[in-house]
Chains A and B, each alone.
Chain A
């Protein structure tokens, strides 16, 4: 032990490492963890630094703001109605989530709990949708929503520039994921509980909404949170199915873009709006972390 005192720090650390590889392993692990956390959070911190810098002072922003001007966080609401874009997004995401949960529950119930002819084939038909790129749906849907096409000869309302122009396609394209999650949860409820409800005089639909859905509440919450996040974050239809005017149901995406288009570009406003736009998602992730993790993993296991 006494010889160790006259060695330098590096040599001592190396010796300890050789004697105890567990220590090295832990050191590497925490270093890597630090790197990953920094990688994830630094861009968001940098956005805050940029938002706090007055626009005229912006140049090569790195770790600290050039001056201090929290006013950008107020201006984006007073000079531009950024909150209305966020509200539009929240309404669009909520509508989609409700539609998906109601329709997806009916389908998930029969896929999860009934054995019928064509079950596997129909499930595959649903799943195959998720492999097609959004561009393969775009042109006909745009024509349909702007009144330039008809669906099997039936009239279809012009829903371009309404929330439905985004809600309808996204409800369909998210359906495979939601049906998969819900049918997995619904199939795990023991038959006895449903039978007991049926003997008590409950109908099949009554059993679904009074027994199956409440008992699968974690699954329904998972599907709901995931749908909401995916719709709020979506780009393709949210960008192309509305003109971009806030009064025509333009979502957050257009709210961010409008700061780019003006003659004088306010980089601090863009940064402030971006941070505000993340807030609803940050709340959901903090509150529903476990649900999101289990939902994503389950959605992937359908392969």
Chain B
């Protein structure tokens, strides 16, 4: 009788403080067990939402397209990849056709990435140099420059869509009369690509500036005092102190922006469309929309491979640079 009573009591207290019970159980774990328990939720989420989809996308890419039903057809190994690169596969837009540079996916993506990132670096460096100086209203200036970065992609795209829509915006007519763009630039592949690049530059230059600014602020101010005493001009100071010391931050910023630029999709979809400006990511979605799941999956890994190549180049170059720094 008394035993059941006490058991009931312990259950009641357990129900009252389940949190405490769990906390005590967790507390009795060894450090190693505790560490893995803490990582479990994150890895469960990453497993389901990141690793599983990556593996399954790869598996899908090893099958044939199944145009009639859902899902994919039979297992064909690496055939999709081979057919994509030999140009045998009929895609919504060619992946690499140098005769049609502005509607073939890899050139479009590379032109977008290189042009946008180079100009963003130059503008960002300029912004960072200015923001690195003390002046009245610096906080407000930084705020103004940072604002475009916080504008949603769809609204960024909408601004440039409206500006370049003939008769709405003021830009199309003068640029057209100068012969720089066609009369309806948003449906012309080459013009639309460069408008997309302009939109990216508007939004992302400030991001570049912030990363470069962080590099500038880590430079020892005494170096400039020494330079001034030895009579170095502003330009000489920039060449011998600022540029070499900010270079590591600059390279990281370049890598970051390049990776993001290689993934471009939303800006294109808002300003123009995926048929006019087919980036590689765009091509994946276009193929998926016409139910060619396996081809879409294979092209998704083409984007991943382009980022992989970029990372390899970066690490090779970075190792050389750090070796040179050691000398």
Q: How far is the CB of B326 from chain A (nearest CB, A)?
A: 19
Q: Given the complex of chains A and B, what is the CA–CA distance between A277 and B256 in angstroms?
A: 27
Q: Which residue of B lies closest to A50 (CB)?
A: B162
Q: Is A135's CB under 8 angstroms from B303's CB?
A: yes
Given contacts A41-B144, A285-B147, contact A58 B153 (CB under 8 A): no
Q: How far is the CB of A205 from chain B (nearest CB, A)?
A: 6
Q: Is A114's CB under 8 angstroms from B31's CB?
A: yes
| Chain B residues closer than 8 Å to A267, beta-carbon distance | 162, 165, 168
Query: Which residues, 100 to 118 on A, are CB-close (under 8 Å) to B?
Result: 103-104, 106-107, 109-110, 114, 116-117
Give the total number of A-B pairs whose CB atoms are below 8 A apart.
263
A144, A235, A270: the one contacting B269 at CB < 8 Å is A235
- Determine whether B180 belongs to the interface, using a CB cutoff of 8 Å to chain A: no
| Chain A residues closer than 8 Å to B143, beta-carbon distance | 285-286, 289
A21, A131, A172: the one contacting B234 at CB < 8 Å is A21
Q: Is B45's CB under 8 angstroms from A171's CB?
A: yes
Given contacts A21-B234, A300-B252, contact A29 B52 (CB under 8 A): no
| Chain B residues closer than 8 Å to A52, beta-carbon distance | none
| Chain B residues closer than 8 Å to A43, beta-carbon distance | 148, 159-160, 163, 202
| Chain A residues closer than 8 Å to B155, beta-carbon distance | 256, 274, 277-278
Q: Which segment of A9-17, A73-81, A189-197, A226-234 sits at the interface?
A: A226-234
Q: Given the complex of chains A and B, what is the CA–CA distance between A108 and B159 in angstroms?
A: 38
- Determine whether B75 belongs to the interface, using a CB cutoff of 8 Å to chain A: no
Q: How far is the CB of B268 from chain A (nearest CB, A)?
A: 10
- Determine whether B300 belongs to the interface, using a CB cutoff of 8 Å to chain A: yes
**23 A/B residue pairs, CB under 8 Å, sorted by A:** A25-B234, A33-B130, A40-B145, A43-B160, A61-B169, A106-B41, A110-B38, A131-B308, A133-B307, A137-B57, A138-B300, A140-B52, A140-B53, A140-B56, A141-B53, A149-B56, A175-B42, A203-B23, A270-B162, A277-B155, A278-B152, A282-B147, A285-B146
- Determine whether A210 belongs to the interface, using a CB cutoff of 8 Å to chain B: no
Q: Is A179's CB under 8 angstroms from B23's CB?
A: no
Interface size on A, residues (CB 8 A): 91
Query: Which residues, 210 to 254 on B, are CB-close (under 8 Å) to A?
Result: 210-211, 213-214, 233-234, 252-253
Interface string of B120-134 (1 = CB under 8 A from A): 000100110010010
- Determine whether A247 belongs to the interface, using a CB cutoff of 8 Å to chain B: no
- Determine whether B266 belongs to the interface, using a CB cutoff of 8 Å to chain A: yes
Interface string of B243-279 (1 = CB under 8 A from A): 0000000001101100100110111011000000000
Q: Which segment of B8-16, B87-95, B184-192, B281-289 sits at the interface?
A: B281-289
Q: Is B265's CB under 8 angstroms from A172's CB?
A: no
| Chain A residues closer than 8 Å to B270, beta-carbon distance | 235
Q: Given the complex of chains A and B, what is the CA–CA distance between A39 and B206 in angstroms?
A: 11
Q: Is B26's CB under 8 angstroms from A61's CB?
A: no
Given contacts A60-B173, A296-B207, contact A133 B39 (CB under 8 A): no
Q: Is B49's CB under 8 angstroms from A59's CB?
A: no
Query: Which residues, 181 to 222 on A, are CB-close (under 8 Å) to B?
Result: 203-206
Q: Is A132's CB under 8 angstroms from B252's CB?
A: no
By secondary structure, the A interface counts as: helix
- Determine whether B102 belongs to the interface, using a CB cutoff of 8 Å to chain A: no
Q: Which residue of A lies closest to B23 (CB)?
A: A203
Given contacts A179-B42, A270-B162, contact A36 B130 (CB under 8 A): yes
| Chain B residues closer than 8 Å to A47, beta-carbon distance | 159, 162
- Determine whether B21 belongs to the interface, using a CB cutoff of 8 Å to chain A: no
Q: Is B263's CB under 8 angstroms from A253's CB?
A: no
Interface string of A112-127 (1 = CB under 8 A from B): 0010110000100010
- Determine whether B78 belongs to the interface, using a CB cutoff of 8 Å to chain A: no
| Chain B residues closer than 8 Å to A133, beta-carbon distance | 262-263, 281, 300, 303-304, 307
Q: How far is the CB of A104 from chain B (nearest CB, A)?
A: 7
Given contacts A47-B159, A270-B162, A277-B155, contact A110 B39 (CB under 8 A): yes
Q: Is A233's CB under 8 angstroms from B288's CB?
A: no
Given contacts A132-B304, A151-B52, contact A29 B133 (CB under 8 A): yes
| Chain A residues closer than 8 Å to B308, beta-carbon distance | 131
- Determine whether B311 belongs to the interface, using a CB cutoff of 8 Å to chain A: yes
Given contacts A129-B46, A205-B23, 12 further A-B contacts (CB under 8 A): A106-B42, A122-B39, A132-B50, A135-B281, A138-B284, A203-B26, A203-B27, A235-B154, A252-B154, A267-B162, A278-B155, A296-B211
**A-B pairs with lowest CB-CB distance, top 9:** A235-B266, A172-B49, A297-B214, A62-B170, A140-B56, A140-B53, A135-B284, A233-B152, A137-B53
Q: Which residue of B lies closest to A168 (CB)?
A: B49
